[in-house]
Amino acid sequence: MSIRLHNIGKHFGSGRQRTQALEPVNLDIHDGELVGLLGPSGSGKTTLLRIIAGLEHADPDGGARILFGERDVTNVHVRDRRIGFVFQHYALFRHMTVFDNVAFGLTVMPRRNRPTSGEIRARVHRLLEMVQLEQLAHRYPAQLSGGQQQRVSLARALALRPDVLLLDEPFGALDAKVRQDLRRWLRHLHDELGFTSLFVTHDQEEALELSDRVAVMSNGRIEQIDTPDAVYRSPANHFVFEFLGDVNHLEGEVRDGTLTCGEARLSVELPDGSEELLLRPHEVRLAEAPTPEAHLPVTVTAISPVGAEVRVELTADWLGEPWLATVRHADYERLGLSRGQRLYAIPRRWHRFPDASPAPALSPLARAA
């Protein structure tokens, strides 16, 4: 089931207290697509999700339209939109068993539409099998872990065979390991069943891992929507770049092809004037000596060798805030990294976002890569 949003804007309050929660949003979601709405608190992502669900209404004076396939649901009540909604805090009935929680929506359907008791049992058992909880059908929510409760919540949402599945911070209340496991499981389930889904998150890793496309939101508008790879590698603007991961800043004055900031110097092909360059940690190489193009002295302040790469925190002589670099374990051993060690940061590439241009400028090395 595809979703088409046209001019979905939202204000709250009135008069001087009137505030804009959403600028008019236009968005097309394809049939069977899993789209993540990613952004900080207050960016409008949950408001947009609630409007799609019918729990909030878009501004009536903007010509707003919401289409599920060819069906216009703009003014359709939430109970008639055929959506499944999964909340952050599960919202399970504590006095009901797992089986009864999943079956609840089916048992309260109007009699003319309600499946038979045998059909309900078969559907619930099939769903519990898919969410790997068939052996826990007769337990109560209090007897389940957080991850298990969230899977019950998802099975309950799927029991009504919704046209669209909406998830609001579905893993936000879980610890990191459980979140990671459930993300993989949800992606597998989505691929198996092929439902259309939107989920809200402020977790960049979660959005990039789960989504077919990511819509990055800020201040009530969509800054960029694209595949996870494209959003990360080709951010549309400064906000998207900053929000999607750790960033090192290099600010200074460019004169005659050299950017200077205190003792730091970097050769750049930029016009004279003030500049800010941005670098990801993996775009910083550490060396024992500067190069003719880069003289950026740093001091190692912390090292985390856990994982595929070594995370190194640096104090930059020319800057108050720390820098981060990620290096291979082979480079970590070759350099003999230790706290207090003096080194030089060598940029592999850098990014620049001029105010006049929505697209980033890259260093010559990056453009050649």
pLDDT confidence of residue 340: 95
pLDDT confidence of residue 363: 58
Distance CA(114)–CA(195), nearest Å, equals 22
pLDDT confidence of residue 324: 95
Tally the residues of the chain.
369
Distance CA(227)–CA(33), nearest Å, equals 11
pLDDT confidence of residue 159: 84
pLDDT confidence of residue 211: 92
Same domain, 23 and 66: yes
| Pick from 369, 351, 346: nearest CA to 234 | 351
Residue 291 belongs to a domain with what CATH number? 2.40.50.100
Same domain, 225 and 278: no
Model confidence pLDDT, tens digit, residues 272-294: 999 999 999 999 999 999 999 99
The two three-digit tokens of residue 92, written as one number:
């399970």
- Each residue of 86-111: b (16+ CB within 10 Å) or e? bbbebebeeeebbbbbbbbbbeeeee
Same domain, 50 and 142: yes
Domain hosting 136: range is 3-234
Q: Which residues of the chain have pLDDT under 50?
A: 356-359, 366-369
The residue out of 201, 234, 267 marking a domain boundary is: 234
With left for phi above 0 and alpha for psi between -120 and 50, is residue 178 left, alpha or beta?
Answer: alpha
Same domain, 226 and 255: no
Distance CA(274)–CA(268), nearest Å, equals 12
The residue out of 182, 199, 234 marking a domain boundary is: 234
Residue 190 belongs to a domain with what CATH number? 3.40.50.300
Same domain, 197 and 296: no
In a domain, 239, yes or no: no
pTM to 2 decimal places:
0.81
Task: Mention every residue, 6+ apart, whose C-beta is less than 8 A from residue 88.
Answer: 168, 169, 170, 172, 173
